[in-house]
Structure 1
Amino acid sequence: MTLLFKQTTTLKQILTVIFLSLLIITQSYALDKLPRGIIYQDGRDAPPLLLKMLDGDVYNITESKGKWVFVHFWATWCGPCRKEIPTIQAIVNKFADSHLDITIVNTAESEDTVFNFLGLLAPDINTLMDEDGLATEKWQPRGLPATFFVDPNGKIRYLALGGRPWDKADYLQFLQQLKNKP
């Protein structure tokens, strides 16, 4: 009986090691599958984001609770932002009425400058206007453009530094996964 007990215990230990190894491999594989330039974050609370939009309405990130939020900081003078904005324009309609809110924040520019720029490159996007730069300062992007992904509980989970081709397959798949995650 003791021999059978020892063999059963050893088998359980081996199976536990195999299971844990597979779990670790699966988790590291999932992190490796993030699109280029997307960095996993520690889950700190997202700073407040309460700003006027270009059309005059007011946006408050707390109203997006329960959804993923794509928070993108940009400026018209930023070369990578100029290249990236049309790709954001391309995804806005794909993710309308979903569990992913796409929010862009212009950093410290006038309404006229932003209106003229978006009218040419992304006429369907309504940007938040951080005219004094204080909201951007609270979020602390390491440069422009920068995109934060806030989970449905208000925690920052991912960060994209630099311009990304949001309308390409690997980025669309990443966004689709977020959209489908409650």
Structure 2
Amino acid sequence: MKKFLIGMLMFVCSQTLSAADISLPKGVIAITPRLAPPLQLQNMDGEQFDLRRAGDQWAFVHFWASWCGPCRREMPTIEILVKAFADKPLTFAIINTAESDDTVFSFLASVAPEINSLMDYDGLVTEAWQPRGLPSTYLVDPQGMIRYVVIGGQAWHSREYQDFLRQLVGEPG
């Protein structure tokens, strides 16, 4: 029994150390894991997205609005990030909060033309996720648990954020 307890303690410590090895960039907050709310929306082309279908991948769930100054500055960096991670096991859910197609299309055409946003027309998905402000990003693990929250605009194209995300998805830096 003593050997079993020592073995369990060593296992728990090794798991804690591996999680601590991930360096958190500015603005990324590790939280007590909680189940991600449902996320089923259509993009601007009418294609259905369901977070539950992300499979064995991490998900980058991002809420934004066109009237948000930090969103305007951040969106081009997210576009770069999406391209950089196109072949990585990371799903992107970029969600506009309750704006019209015309507003979103005009905004994205001027700052990030390659982004195809999910549309939360009635705001119910945003309400379920309860972002504390815009922009807000949630990093959801393959088991559907929110592990990290990022409030405010970040330079997602920078090396520190990309290295962090590569560590999450198990890719070399």
Asked if Structure 1 and Structure 2 have the same fold, meaning a TM-score greater than 0.5 normalized by the shorter chain, the answer is yes
Distance 1:130 1:24, change over 3 A: closer
What does the per-residue CA deviation read over 1:51-103, in whole Å, with 9 as the maximum and x for residues that have no partner? Answer: 01011101000110210000000000000000000000111111113211121
Structure 2 residue aligned with 1:109: 99
Distance of 1:106 and 1:89 partners within structure 2: 15
Change (3 A) 1:25 1:157: closer
**How many pairs does the alignment contain?**
162
Name whichever structure is richer in strand by fraction. Answer: 2
Task: Give distance in 1, aligned partners of 2:15 and 2:118.
Answer: 40
Query: What stretches of structure 1 move > 3 A for 4+ residues in a row?
Result: 22-31
Instruction: Please give the secondary structure, in 2, of the residue aligned with 1:36.
Output: coil
Give 5+ residue unaligned stretches, structure 1: 1-18
1:74 matched to 2:64? The reply is yes
SS in 1 for 2:34: coil
Q: Structure 1 residue 169: deviation in Å?
A: 1.1
The yes-or-no answer on 1:140 pairing with 2:130 is yes
Q: What is the match of residue 49 of structure 1?
A: 39
Q: CA deviation at 1:148?
A: 0.1
Q: Distance in 2 between matches of 1:168 and 1:58?
A: 30
- Tell me the TM-score normalised to structure 2 length: 0.86
Partner of 1:121: 111
TM-score (norm 1): 0.82
Higher helix share: 1
Shift of the 51–117 alpha-carbon distance from structure 1 to 2, 3 Å rule, reads same
Q: Which residue of 1 is the match for residue 54 of structure 2?
A: 64
Asked if 1:156 corresponds to 2:143, the answer is no
Note the C-alpha offset of 1:179: 2.3
Change in CA separation of 1:25 and 1:66 when aligned onto 2, cut-off 3 Å: closer
Does 2:82 align with 1:92? yes
SS in 1 for 2:86: coil
Question: Residues 120 and 30 from structure 1, CA distance in 2 versus in 1: closer, same or farther, beyond 3 angstroms?
Answer: same
| Residue pair 1:100, 1:178 contacting (<8 A) in 2 also | no
SS of the residue aligned with 1:81? helix
Which of structures 1 and 2 has the bigger CA Rg? Answer: 1
Percent of paired sites with the same residue: 51
Distance 1:111 1:180, change over 3 A: same
For the residue of structure 2 that corresponds to 1:152, the secondary structure is coil
Provide closer, same or farther for how the CA distance between residues 66 and 40 of structure 1 changes in structure 2, counting only shifts above 3 A.
same
Q: Give the aligned partner of residue 21 of structure 2.
A: 30
